[in-house]
């Protein structure tokens, strides 16, 4: 297959500018963004129309890159040696929090990594030189696209570039294995349980809760200070996360002065951390409209405020 080398520089350029790229892999088409760029990652969630922030897979060209991002143990080394590049994703403790931003990990202290086998995804990852997050390129609640035409129809309008790699050879998402304590199968895929167990021994069953809510597998970032939602402004001693035009004040961080929800999503975790570190008695947060990415932002804020487990 012709790996369309001519389109790679243009796609790298788009990614460096924070744009999104439709990317073929051997499993399904992905919607790729620079994993370190929270603004670009927020645009991925917006394009998919996800009502909450699911953690994304960081794609790498080489095991060496994955080792810089995540903490590899013997089991991870053995599985990567046997199945990479290929349709296997490993969930491991995060090692470099900047390489894969908080928003891409949905605030977890773990990260999912995979080295895809498709020549075009490999070429793009090598040329880009860092990890790319790439959820399946479908809109939320729809099947994963396995042809270029389907991927473009789903999320093409949000992409700055699109690479046509033909039909996906596998057509089923990667197998996801968590190696945080007991090895667990989080998502069955084309690498079978038997193939995994032949390398690292018996897999524990992930319970339905762990599959629905990966947060149960690892810690979600949660501020120490209490969080007060729908606040018109800070009370004395409180930090404030503003949304929209606001006076610059001590302990005030603005999620988006222009009320741009993509910008607010990109700033959410960093601003929560900064407000938490400020020593404030509580973190007051301005009302965020429940539309577009606002739904996911409010979901995350309600969790931070302790309203959802
Ligand atoms: O085949 C694939 O994996 C495709 C291609 C494009 O690479 N990508 C894909 O991504 O299916 P996505 O975002 O649709 O699915 C990612 C899966 C989700 O089930 C998510 O919950 C899980 O990986 N995941 C990601 N990070 C995780 C983490 N830190 N802990 C637990 N699960 C995680
Ligand atoms: Mg998906």
- Domain limits, the chain: 5-212, 227-304
Distance CA 240, CA 253 (A): 6
Q: Which residues surround ligand 2, an ion (CB under 5 A)?
A: 136
CA distance linking residue 250 with residue 233, whole number of Å:
12
**What per-residue confidence (pLDDT) applies to 1?**
44
Indicate if ligand 1 lies below 6 Å from the C-beta of 214: yes
The closest ligand to the CA of 134 turns out to be 1
pLDDT of residue 184: 94
Q: What is the pLDDT of residue 5?
A: 60
Distance of CA 39 to CAs 35, 151, 224, 266, 268, Å?
10, 22, 25, 5, 10
Residue 176 C-alpha to ligand 2 middle, in angstroms?
12
Ligand 2 centre from 112 Cα, in Å?
Answer: 13
Question: How does 249-259 read in b/e, with b if 16+ C-beta sit within 10 Å?
Answer: eebbbbbbeee
Return the SS3 of 150.
helix
Pocket test for ligand 1, best of 45, 56, 215 (most atoms within 8 A of CB): 56
Q: Does residue 111 have its Cβ closer than 6 Å to ligand 1?
A: yes
* Gap between the Cα atoms of 15 and 134, Å rounded: 12
d(CA 89, CA 58): 9
Q: Does domain 227-304 bear CATH number 3.10.310.30?
A: no
Question: What's the predicted TM-score (pTM) here?
Answer: 0.91
Q: Which ligand number lies closest to the CA of residue 168?
A: 1
Condensed to tens digits (0 to 9), the pLDDT of residues 75-125 reads: 999 999 999 999 999 999 999 999 999 999 999 999 999 999 999 999 999
Ligand 2 geometric centre to CA of 290 (Å): 23
Atom of ligand 1 nearest to the CA of 23: 6
Residue whose token pair is 């060209």: 61
pLDDT of 294 reads 93
Nearest CA to ligand 1 atom 12: 135
Element holding 92 (H helix, E strand): strand 88-93
Other C-beta atoms lying within 10 Å of the C-beta of residue 264: 24
Concatenating the DSSP letter of every residue in 107-138 gives TBSEEEEE----HHHHHHHHHH-S-EE--BSS
Regarding the domain delimited by 5-212, which CATH topology (the fold level of the hierarchy) does it fall under? DHBP synthase (3.90.870)
The predicted pLDDT at position 216 comes to 56
For residue 165, which of 128, 117, 130 has the smallest C-alpha distance?
Answer: 117
Residue bearing tokens 């969080």: 227
Looking at all shown ligands, the one closest to residue 133's CA atom is 1
Q: What is the pLDDT of residue 213?
A: 56
pLDDT at 2: 47
Give the number of the atom of ligand 1 that is nearest the alpha carbon of residue 27.
Answer: 1
CB environment 14-48: b (16+ within 10 A), e (fewer): bbeebbbbbbbbbbbbbbbbbbbbbbbbbbbbbbb
How many whole angstroms from 166 Cα to the centroid of ligand 1?
22
Strand 227-228 relative to strand 283-285: parallel, antiparallel, unpaired? parallel
Distance from residue 7's CA to the centre of ligand 1 (Å): 26
Residues of the chain with pLDDT below 50 are 1-3
CB 115 within 8 A of CB 86: yes
Residue 277: predicted pLDDT: 94
């Amino acid at each position: 297959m012709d790996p369309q080398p001519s389109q790679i520089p243009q796609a790298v350029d788009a990614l460096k500018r924070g744009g999104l790229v439709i990317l073929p892999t051997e499993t399904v088409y992905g919607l790729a963004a620079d994993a370190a760029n929270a603004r670009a990652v927020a645009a991925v969630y917006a394009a998919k129309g996800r009502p909450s922030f699911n953690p994304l897979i960081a794609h790498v060209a080489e095991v060496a890159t994955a080792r810089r991002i995540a903490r590899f143990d013997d089991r991870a080394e053995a599985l990567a040696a046997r199945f990479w590049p290929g349709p296997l994703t490993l969930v491991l403790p995060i090692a470099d929090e900047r390489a894969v931003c908080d928003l891409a990990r949905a605030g977890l202290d773990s990260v999912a990594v995979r080295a895809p086998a498709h020549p075009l995804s490999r070429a793009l990852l090598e040329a880009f030189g860092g990890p790319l997050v790439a959820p399946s390129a479908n809109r939320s609640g729809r099947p994963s696209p396995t042809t270029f035409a389907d991927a473009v129809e789903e999320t093409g309008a949000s992409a700055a570039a699109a690479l046509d790699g033909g039909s996906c050879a596998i057509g089923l998402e990667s197998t996801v294995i968590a190696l945080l304590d007991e090895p667990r199968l989080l998502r069955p895929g084309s690498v079978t349980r038997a193939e995994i167990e032949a390398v690292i021994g018996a897999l524990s069953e992930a319970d339905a809760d762990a599959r629905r809510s990966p947060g149960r597998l690892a810690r979600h970032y949660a501020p120490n200070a209490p969080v007060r939602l729908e606040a018109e402004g800070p009370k004395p001693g409180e930090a404030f996360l503003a949304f929209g035009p606001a006076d610059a004040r001590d302990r005030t961080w603005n999620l988006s002065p222009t009320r741009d929800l993509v910008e607010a999503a990109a700033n959410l975790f960093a601003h929560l951390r900064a407000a938490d570190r400020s020593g404030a008695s509580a973190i007051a947060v301005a009302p965020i409209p429940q539309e577009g990415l606002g739904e996911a932002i409010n979901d995350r804020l309600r969790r931070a405020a302790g309203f959802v487990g």
